[in-house]
Structure 1
Amino acid sequence: MTEKITNLNTTKNEYRNRELSWLQFNARVLQEAEDPSVPLIERLRFLGIFSNNLDEFFKVRYATVRRIVEAGKGGRSFLGGISASDLLEEITQIVIEQQAHSLRILKKIRSELHKENIYIINETEVTKAQSEFISDYFIRKVSPALVTIMIGELEEFPSLKDSAAYLAVRMVMKKDDETFQSRSNFALIEIPKIIDRFIVLPSKGDKQYIIILDDLIRYCLNNIFSIFKYESISAHMIKITRDAELDIDSDLSRSFLEKISKSVKKRSSGDPVRFVYDKSIDAETLQFLLQKMGIDTTDSIIPGGRYHNRRDYMKFPSLGRTDLLYKKIEPLPIKGLSLQGSLLDKIAKKDYLLYAPYQSFSYVVKFLREAALDPNVKSIQITIYRLAQISHIASSLINAVKNGKKVTVQIELQARFDEEANIEYAEQMQSEGVRLIFGVSGLKVHCKACVIERLEGKKIKRYAFISTGNFNESTAQIYTDYTLFTSNQKIGKEINKVFDFFEVNYKIKKYSHLIVSPHYTRNAMYHLIDTEIQNKKNGKSSGIRLKMNSLSDFKMIDKLYQASRAGVKIKLIIRGICCLIPGVKGMSENIEVISIVDKFLEHPRLFIFENGGDAKIYISSADFMGRNLDNRVEITCPIYDEDIKQELIDTFEISWKDNIKARIISGKALNKYRKSDEEPFRSQFKLYEYYQQKLKN
Structure 2
Amino acid sequence: MLAQKHKYPLINREISWLFFNERVLQEAADKTVPLIERLRFLAIFSSNLDEFYRVRVATLSRLGDINSKTKTILGFNPRKILNEIKNIVVRLEKRFDYLYEQEIIKELEAQKIFIINEQQLNVARGNYVREYFRQRVLPTLVPIMLEGEDAAKQLLELKDRHIYFLVKLTFRKRVRYALVEIPSPVISRFLILPENRGLKFIILLDDIIRYCLDDLFFIFEYDTIEAYSIQLTRDAELDIDANVSEKFVDALVRSLQRRDKGRPMRLLYDNDIPLDALNYLVSCMQLDSEALIPGGRYHNFKDFINFPNVGGPSLEYPPMPQLRVNNLELGRSIFSQMTQRDYLVSLPYQSFDYIVHFLREAAMDPKVKEINICLYRLAENSSVINALINAAKNGKKVNCLLELKARFDEEANIYWRNRLVEGGVNVNIGMVQYKVHAKICLIARREKKRMVYYANLATGNFNEKTARIYCDHSLFTVNPLITNDLRRLFRGLEKQVFYRGYKNIITSPLETRQRLYELIAKEIEVARSGKKGYMILKMNSLSDEEMIAKLYEANNAGVNIQLIVRGMCCLVPGQPGFSERITVRSIVDRYLEHARVWIFGNGGEELIYLSSADLMTRNIDRRVEVAFPVFDARIRKEIRDIINIQLRDNTKAREINHLNNNRYIGVKNKIRHRAQQDIYNYLKYKS
| TM-score (normalised: structure 1) | 0.95
Unaligned 5+ residue runs, structure 2? none
* Aligned 8 A contact 1:74 1:83 in 2: no
Q: Distance in 2 between matches of 1:116 and 1:248?
A: 51
Within a 5 Å distance, the mapping from 1:89-104 to structure 2 comes to: 89-104=83-98
- Cα deviation code 1:607-649 (max 9, x no counterpart): 0001011111100000000000000000000111111111111
> What is the Cα deviation at residue 74 of structure 1?
5.3
2:495 to 504, 509, 521: 504
Q: Helix, strand or coil: the match of 2:131?
A: helix
> What is the Cα deviation at residue 78 of structure 1?
6.8
- Cα deviation code 1:37-76 (max 9, x no counterpart): 0000100000000000000000001111111111124544
Matched, 1:580 2:574: no
* Aligned 8 A contact 1:148 1:188 in 2: yes
Within a 5 Å distance, the mapping from 1:90-129 to structure 2 comes to: 90-107=84-101, 108-129=103-124
C-alpha distance 322-503 of structure 1, shift in aligned 2 (>3 A): same
2:280 to 273, 285, 288: 288
Q: Counterpart of 2:34? A: 39
Q: Which amino acid letter does the alignment assign opposite residue 242 of structure 1?
A: R
Q: Counterpart of 2:164? A: 166
> What is the Cα deviation at residue 153 of structure 1?
3.6
> What is the Cα deviation at residue 433 of structure 1?
1.0
Q: Helix, strand or coil: the match of 1:66?
A: helix
Q: Judge which range, 539-548 or 344-353, deviates more.
A: 539-548
Q: Counterpart of 1:180? A: none
- Cα deviation code 1:155-193 (max 9, x no counterpart): 252200001110000111356xxxxxxx21111111112
Q: Counterpart of 1:632? A: 623
* Aligned 8 A contact 2:113 2:310 in 1: no
Unaligned 5+ residue runs, structure 1? 5-10, 176-182
Q: Distance in 2 between matches of 1:53 and 1:395?
A: 31
Q: Counterpart of 1:157? A: 153
Matched, 1:523 2:514: yes
Q: Judge which range, 250-259 or 413-422, deviates more.
A: 250-259
Matched, 1:612 2:603: yes
> What is the Cα deviation at residue 261 of structure 1?
1.4
Q: Helix, strand or coil: the match of 1:150?
A: strand
2:61 to 61, 66, 69: 66
Within a 5 Å distance, the mapping from 1:358-369 to structure 2 comes to: 358-369=349-360
Within a 5 Å distance, the mapping from 1:403-418 to structure 2 comes to: 403-418=394-409
C-alpha distance 74-676 of structure 1, shift in aligned 2 (>3 A): farther
- Cα deviation code 1:80-127 (max 9, x no counterpart): x43111100000010001000100000110011000000000000111
Q: Counterpart of 1:622? A: 613
Q: Distance in 2 between matches of 1:686 and 1:376?
A: 41
> What is the Cα deviation at residue 565 of structure 1?
0.4
Count residues with an aligned counterpart: 680
Q: Which amino acid letter does the alignment assign opposite residue 317 of structure 2?
A: Y
Identity of aligned residues (%): 45
1:557 to 543, 548, 551: 548
> What is the Cα deviation at residue 420 of structure 1?
1.1
1:198 to 180, 190, 193: 190
Q: Distance in 1 between matches of 2:497 and 2:453?
A: 26
Within a 5 Å distance, the mapping from 1:541-690 to structure 2 comes to: 541-678=532-669, 679-690=671-682
Matched, 1:275 2:267: yes
- Cα deviation code 1:651-691 (max 9, x no counterpart): 10000000000000001111000013220100100000100
User: Pairwise CA RMSD of aligned residues?
Assistant: 1.6
Matched, 1:229 2:221: yes
C-alpha distance 409-150 of structure 1, shift in aligned 2 (>3 A): same
Matched, 1:30 2:12: no
* Aligned 8 A contact 1:3 1:667 in 2: no
Q: Counterpart of 2:200? A: 208
> What is the Cα deviation at residue 415 of structure 1?
0.6
Q: Helix, strand or coil: the match of 1:216?
A: helix
Q: Counterpart of 1:7? A: none
Q: Helix, strand or coil: the match of 1:157?
A: helix
* Aligned 8 A contact 1:276 1:302 in 2: yes
* Aligned 8 A contact 1:553 1:624 in 2: yes
Matched, 1:487 2:483: no
Q: Distance in 1 between matches of 2:201 and 2:177?
A: 31
C-alpha distance 689-77 of structure 1, shift in aligned 2 (>3 A): farther
> What is the Cα deviation at residue 478 of structure 1?
0.6
Q: Which amino acid letter does the alignment assign opposite residue 467 of structure 1?
A: A
* Aligned 8 A contact 2:242 2:433 in 1: no
Within a 5 Å distance, the mapping from 1:376-391 to structure 2 comes to: 376-391=367-382
Q: Distance in 1 between matches of 2:609 and 2:516?
A: 11
C-alpha distance 534-395 of structure 1, shift in aligned 2 (>3 A): same
C-alpha distance 688-450 of structure 1, shift in aligned 2 (>3 A): same
* Aligned 8 A contact 2:565 2:584 in 1: yes
Q: Counterpart of 1:241? A: 233
Q: Counterpart of 2:527? A: 536
Q: Helix, strand or coil: the match of 2:223?
A: strand
Q: Distance in 2 between matches of 1:304 and 1:360?
A: 40
C-alpha distance 449-624 of structure 1, shift in aligned 2 (>3 A): same
Q: Which amino acid letter does the alignment assign opposite residue 234 of structure 2?
A: R
Q: Counterpart of 2:179? A: 188
Q: Which amino acid letter does the alignment assign opposite residue 207 of structure 2?
A: D
C-alpha distance 211-154 of structure 1, shift in aligned 2 (>3 A): farther
| TM-score (normalised: structure 2) | 0.97
> What is the Cα deviation at residue 505 of structure 1?
2.8
Q: Which amino acid letter does the alignment assign opposite residue 20 of structure 1?
A: I
Matched, 1:142 2:116: no
* Aligned 8 A contact 2:524 2:557 in 1: yes
- Cα deviation code 1:528-551 (max 9, x no counterpart): 000000011113332100100000
Q: Distance in 2 between matches of 1:292 and 1:3?
A: 37
Q: Distance in 1 between matches of 2:73 and 2:183?
A: 40
Q: Distance in 2 between matches of 1:302 and 1:356?
A: 38
> What is the Cα deviation at residue 216 of structure 1?
0.5
Q: Distance in 2 between matches of 1:231 and 1:56?
A: 40
* Aligned 8 A contact 2:97 2:296 in 1: yes
> What is the Cα deviation at residue 12 of structure 1?
3.7
Q: Judge which range, 499-508 or 383-392, deviates more.
A: 499-508
Q: Distance in 2 between matches of 1:642 and 1:260?
A: 45
Q: Counterpart of 2:391? A: 400
Q: Helix, strand or coil: the match of 1:185?
A: strand
Q: Judge which range, 616-625 or 676-685, deviates more.
A: 676-685
Q: Distance in 1 between matches of 2:652 and 2:478?
A: 37
- Cα deviation code 1:295-350 (max 9, x no counterpart): 134x4211111111111111111225211000110110000101111011001121
Q: Helix, strand or coil: the match of 1:28?
A: helix
- Cα deviation code 1:189-217 (max 9, x no counterpart): 11112111111111112111100110011
Q: Helix, strand or coil: the match of 1:255?
A: helix
Q: Counterpart of 1:8? A: none
Q: Distance in 1 between matches of 2:26 and 2:148?
A: 45
Q: Judge which range, 537-546 or 411-420, deviates more.
A: 537-546
Q: Distance in 2 between matches of 1:641 and 1:422?
A: 35
Q: Which amino acid letter does the alignment assign opposite residue 469 of structure 1?
A: G
Q: Which amino acid letter does the alignment assign opposite residue 166 of structure 1?
A: Y
Matched, 1:18 2:10: no
Q: Helix, strand or coil: the match of 2:153?
A: coil
Q: Distance in 2 between matches of 1:661 and 1:676?
A: 11
